[in-house]
Structure 1
């Protein structure tokens, strides 16, 4: 029986960080495996042998260390499990040697986990989540068996694509995974960790046209006119949908993080969390009605009551997004709308309705804050913001 435990050794100096190490016991022989993970004493829970996460500037750093520890322990357990299953005799020193050898080899799982940890440290949580989802999918395909970067070739990617399609994954979704893996692979090539074997040349990495997720103005009007006074959860979901539409398709994550100070002199200013682009929206009466209806606490910095606690904002946002989209399905039924209603539909609908009113593509792009990754950005010109505000006012007037 082999025991693997995570331990913390505090620094002899009170103000300095201590280090994490692993204690491995096999056949009564004890060894310590050092790591380069450093934390302060008050960031370690001795009883549960876990890190203590806090809502401060070190939270991203601690979260990345926690995930690396979990990955290290899993690798150690896999080494032991492999030898146990094959009934191979081994010593505790063999475990450490095998672990260190695997760490020195450039494997996809290790390399990608490092990228994910750095993305979290940089505050790019959404991107880190998509990378983590891709890695989790590929690990399932590989049955948790890591692969060297030098072993990644077109045959492997073709097998992964076939596996995805066999599980019912759509062409666009499999392409999404492939594009992320390609980005990771290209980064490894840039770092000269492997030679470029063009492993993605035979798999699909494009974007197929999907079923439209826009609804017409008359459907928006039906949603707006619903009496949901007896259903507060549905009422809130409906209002968040309308707020997104009113504000030129503002993404829900940007809505959640809006601060009261962002509204000044009838202009709402915010910076898109996805692209960093700053946008300015003329504050209309219909927007104020929603803000008045769903007021936040006096001491809350937020404009709308989506983030309610001063900690764990990312989890609050994700939970609110899930609940709101779920409730919008019920709102759609009440309004007699057949397509699955989500907050994204509001964004797509604003663009579609604006286009139907012959508003130039460049104005629509400017209004929605599209960046260079969007096709519409090709037509984007530097516009006076009043042009965008006039376009939005024109749309909202037709809704009344």
Structure 2
């Protein structure tokens, strides 16, 4: 029987961190693997043989990384031992240690990507971390949970993954979304010299497909506005959030959720798009205020009744988005819509209706905060914001 134990060796120097050590025992022969992971005595749980994870503090990120690396090392040792056992031949403890050191520069794709996700979370990039987690989970399903080494990622594998996604009815934009995320992680591993560049994503789709726009005409927006819904119900709340997005030129739900009361001053709502960082200014209209007035003022600093407490803001936003998207489906059924109603439909609808009112494309683009095209960026520098406000006022006046 072969065993691996994780131990903490205190430093001989006072107030210095100790070292994490692995003890590998096979046929009573014990060998030691000394790591470069350092923790202080109060950061080590001797009974559980693992670092003590604390939610906050200067060393939190360091301890989280060390804990993850220990798990990765133990998994690698287990795989080495299992592989040697499967060969049904005699082997010594020294061989286990030798193979461990030989594979030290290697890393599994799952483990490396999980480490990248943890780093994104530590940097406060929660949305990106969630996207990376979604892509990783998809790839894990394709692999039936079987991990793979970074140096085994090749073009054939990624073509198989793409075929798997297509066979499960995944839209091409989603296929591209997953491939681009996996490519970014792979390229990061290449930069760290954990694998060589094999260009595994060269023959898979990483572009952007033109999607069917689900913009609603003005008469449908009116029908949604005039729906007879139970006051202060979840359906009523959903309708209000959809309309508020439309009123504010298709503001995204995440930007709505994080609006602060201080963002509304002197009849102007100002906010910075979380997606692009671009700052936008919107003239405050009566229809917007009517929605605010329907709900008790938040005790916290947020403007809309989406994030209601100062704890777990991200979770509150995600729960509210899930609720709204579910209830929008009910609203779309109630008015007989053939297409799926989502918060993003309000954005497409505002642009489509603005175009139908002969509002210049440059004004529409600026009003929505588009900055991906050079022509739009150049025009934004000199565009009078009152033109955008007049465009929005014209649309809202049609309701």
Assess if the C-alpha contact under 8 Å between 1:31 and 1:92 holds in 2: no
Assess if the C-alpha contact under 8 Å between 1:328 and 1:341 holds in 2: yes
Query: Structure 1 residue 335 and structure 2 residue 308: aligned?
Result: no
Assess if the C-alpha contact under 8 Å between 2:278 and 2:369 holds in 1: yes
Deviation, 1:287, is 0.7
> What is residue 53 of structure 1 aligned with on the other side?
55
CA-to-partner distance for each residue in 1:67-124, whole Å, 9 max, x for gaps? 6666566555555565566667777776666555444125544443343333223222
CA-to-partner distance for each residue in 1:30-64, whole Å, 9 max, x for gaps? 9787464768958989889762425x898777776
C-alpha spacing 1:24/1:221, structure 2 compared with 1 (3 Å): farther
> What is residue 212 of structure 2 aligned with on the other side?
211
RMSD: 3.9
> What is residue 345 of structure 1 aligned with on the other side?
345
TM-score normalized with structure 2 length: 0.81
Assess if the C-alpha contact under 8 Å between 2:19 and 2:37 holds in 1: yes
Alignment partners' CA distance in 1, 2:16 and 2:317: 32
Alignment partners' CA distance in 2, 1:280 and 1:44: 52
CA-to-partner distance for each residue in 1:221-267, whole Å, 9 max, x for gaps? 11111121256111111111111111111111111111111111111
Q: Mapping of 1:179-218 within 5 angstroms?
A: 179-189=180-190, 195-218=196-219
Question: 1:104 is paired with a residue of what secondary structure?
Answer: coil
Deviation, 1:305, is 1.9
Deviation, 1:149, is 4.3
> What is residue 126 of structure 1 aligned with on the other side?
127
> What is residue 265 of structure 2 aligned with on the other side?
264
Deviation, 1:201, is 2.8
Question: 1:51 is paired with a residue of what secondary structure?
Answer: coil
Question: 1:115 is paired with a residue of what secondary structure?
Answer: helix
> What is residue 178 of structure 2 aligned with on the other side?
177
| More displaced stretch, 111-120 vs 255-264 | 111-120
| More displaced stretch, 241-250 vs 184-193 | 184-193
C-alpha spacing 1:130/1:86, structure 2 compared with 1 (3 Å): farther
Query: Structure 1 residue 275 and structure 2 residue 276: aligned?
Result: yes
Deviation, 1:179, is 2.0
Q: Mapping of 1:53-92 within 5 angstroms?
A: 53-54=55-56, 75=76, 78-79=79-80
Alignment partners' CA distance in 2, 1:174 and 1:5: 42
Q: Mapping of 1:103-182 within 5 angstroms?
A: 103-105=104-106, 107-182=108-183
| More displaced stretch, 206-215 vs 239-248 | 206-215
Query: Structure 1 residue 385 and structure 2 residue 385: aligned?
Result: yes
C-alpha spacing 1:174/1:268, structure 2 compared with 1 (3 Å): same
Assess if the C-alpha contact under 8 Å between 1:175 and 1:205 holds in 2: yes
Larger radius of gyration: 2
Question: 1:279 is paired with a residue of what secondary structure?
Answer: strand
CA-to-partner distance for each residue in 1:169-209, whole Å, 9 max, x for gaps? 22222122122233334444555655544333322222222
Alignment partners' CA distance in 1, 2:364 and 2:19: 52
TM-score normalized with structure 1 length: 0.81
Deviation, 1:384, is 1.8
> What is residue 358 of structure 2 aligned with on the other side?
358
> What is residue 247 of structure 1 aligned with on the other side?
248
CA-to-partner distance for each residue in 1:130-167, whole Å, 9 max, x for gaps? 22222222233334444454443322221221122222
C-alpha spacing 1:105/1:30, structure 2 compared with 1 (3 Å): closer
